[in-house]
Amino acid sequence: MASNGQTETATLVAMLDERAAVNARLVLVADGQQWRLHHAQVTLDDAPSKERAWRYSTASFLELSLPGSTAAALLRGEEQDIHGVRVVAPGSLSSTAFVRRLRGQEEWGRETTRWPRTEWTISRDTSVPQNGYDLLVGDGPSFLNFDQALSAFLHQRPYDSTTNRTDLWRIVQPQRAGWFSKITIGPDLLTAVVDGENLASAVLEVSWAAGNQIHSLDGAGSYSFALPDGLAHDSLLMLRREDEWLDWRSFPAPAFGRARDASVVWEQPGPELDLLLANGEGQHLECKREVPEGESRKKMLKTIAAFASKDGGTVLIGVQDDLQIVGLSEQSNVDKQTLQIASMIRDNLEPVPAYESRVIDHDGKKVFAIEVSGGGQMHAYRNGQRLEFYVRVGPNTVPARHHEIAAGFQQAPTATTF
């Protein structure tokens, strides 16, 4: 099975060529009298593909089942007639593709699946003139511009900066031998619900620094591990067959500013908060005793902007600087505070970062968490008519230097990406 690294493009061509059919999403842009391939996403799956066709004067978006030989020819750079149009594919591709094997529920390039998968990507030549930003009106939904149409077609999600990928080809192979459909972590018990199409000889293992436990599987179903001392830091839950992993989850201190894994249910919110606070305030964590006012509010908003401009982070409200958990006051209206914070972020940060707010219960005390995602672009705090940029240095939020701002904008996609 493929692992992270490089794969010869010729190997992918052969892989496509030997399949009777593949599911494909093709994004085409008008190039004179022909249609040039802008992005191809191919899924090596036996499940039938639904069919969609959005056609505009400058772009076309097609979802259909293709003969494997047709997909292989496109990957070789050969022109093909597809769905009534002549598709021109770049013929000078890289000789290798980047390959990455992903566990279940892992997001990469805005894609998440319940089961593990292997993905191969080949970058496009970004020096080729790309599609413009005109309104798209035609035989399909109307869109403000090409970027919005691309995000809706590939992801069924609103456009944001992460849509601007540079891959020309994306080949996805689902790995459905076995996966975790649900994991529940309690104070003294971990329960994993396992599903899959080939679980013969598979075992389930939970391991930590001081030891491990292993269960043999009788097929799909629910399996439990007793944890008398609770879930240890840096525990690893592994579904494997001999030396090959099928799916896995790791449980370090919670990932700061990342979307939470939908398959994991924490029934021990106290320990979850303890893990979050284990390393104290720092690069990815800021604590506030209560919803701040005045200058303290400005500082919190600047910190949220700094989190969003880099790797993300979490603001905890109801925790003192010395990490003592005091909780929200009994008079606090959580729904009102949620709306208040949302308004603060919307009115003072540009662009508005992606974040999630939630309440964590800890020994009868409520702590409000604002989990900010890192978006790969700079986010500014609006100070009157002036935009200010900040970065996180350890536990401090400081003004960004010119080279840091420049680097942040260089990483962010621009209109020339497409």
DSSP 336-363: HHHHHHHHHHHHHEESPPPEEEEEEEET
Q: Are 369 and 359 in contact (CB under 8 A)?
A: yes
What DSSP character marks residue 309? H
Residue 68: predicted pLDDT: 95
Residue 23: predicted pLDDT: 95
The CA radius of gyration of the chain, in Å to the nearest whole number, is: 24
Answer whether residue 258 shows pLDDT above 60.
no
- Give the rounded percent of residues in the chain with a pLDDT score beyond 70: 89
Answer whether residue 2 shows pLDDT above 60.
no
Of the listed ranges 34-38, 92-96, 340-344, the one predicted with least confidence:
92-96
d(CA 320, CA 3): 44
Q: Are 126 and 137 in contact (CB under 8 A)?
A: no
Buried b (16+ CB within 10 A) or exposed e, 6-20: ebebeebbebbbebe
Helices (H) and strands (E) in the chain, counts: 7, 28
In the three-class reduction of DSSP (H, G, I as helix; E, B as strand; rest coil), residue 114 is classed as coil
DSSP 193-232: EEE-S--TT-EEEEEETTEEEEEE--SSEEEEEE-TT-PP
For residue range 377-398, what is the model confidence (pLDDT) as tens digits? 889 999 988 999 999 988 899 9
Q: Are 288 and 328 in contact (CB under 8 A)?
A: no
Contacts of residue 403, Cβ cutoff 8 Å, sequence gap at least 6:
none
Rounded to the nearest 10°, the torsion over CA 145, 147, 150, 151 is: -120
Q: What are phi and psi of 319, to 5 degrees?
A: -130, 130
d(CA 81, CA 86): 5
CB count in 10 Å sphere of residue 45? 16
For residue range 330-362, what is the model confidence (pLDDT) as tens digits? 777 888 888 889 999 999 999 898 888 888 888
Across the range 308-336, mean pLDDT stands at: 87
How close are the terminal C-alpha atoms of the chain, in Å? 33
How confident is residue 257, by pLDDT bands cut at 50, 70 and 90?
very low
List of domains in the chain: 5-174 (no CATH), 179-252 (2.60.40.1870), 273-417 (3.30.110.10)
pTM metric for this prediction: 0.68
Residue 270: C-alpha distances to residues 25, 83, 231 (Å): 45, 56, 12
For residue range 118-131, what is the model confidence (pLDDT) as tens digits? 999 998 876 666 66
Residue 34: predicted pLDDT: 87
Task: Cis check for the bond before 269: say yes or no (omega within 30 of 0).
Answer: no
CB count in 10 Å sphere of residue 191? 15
d(CA 415, CA 164): 9
Left, alpha or beta for 153 (phi > 0: left; psi -120 to 50: alpha)?
alpha
Structure tokens at 352: 């508005």
How confident is residue 413, by pLDDT bands cut at 50, 70 and 90?
very low
Residue 337: predicted pLDDT: 84
DSSP 143-202: ESSHHHHHHHHHHSS---GGG---EEEEEEEE--S-EEEEEEE-SSEEEEEEE-S--TT-
d(CA 189, CA 231): 8
Please, what is the angle between helix 9-17 and helix 68-76, to 10°? 160
Beta strands 203-208 and 211-216, pairing class: antiparallel
